[in-house]
Amino acid sequence: MKDMIDISKASQMLGVYTKTLRRWDNGGKFKAYKTLGGHRRYKLSDVE
* Separation of alpha carbons 41 and 24, rounded Å: 13
Residue 40 contacts residue 32 (beta carbons within 8 Å): yes
The CATH number that applies at residue 40 is 1.10.1660.10
Using alpha carbons, list the distances in angstroms from residue 36 to 18, 40, 41: 19, 10, 11
Domain extent, residue 40, equals 4-47
* Separation of alpha carbons 31 and 22, rounded Å: 10
Give 34's DSSP letter: E
* Number of structural domains found in the chain: 1
Residue 1 has pLDDT above 80, yes or no: no
pLDDT tens across 2-27, in order? 799 999 999 999 999 999 999 999 99
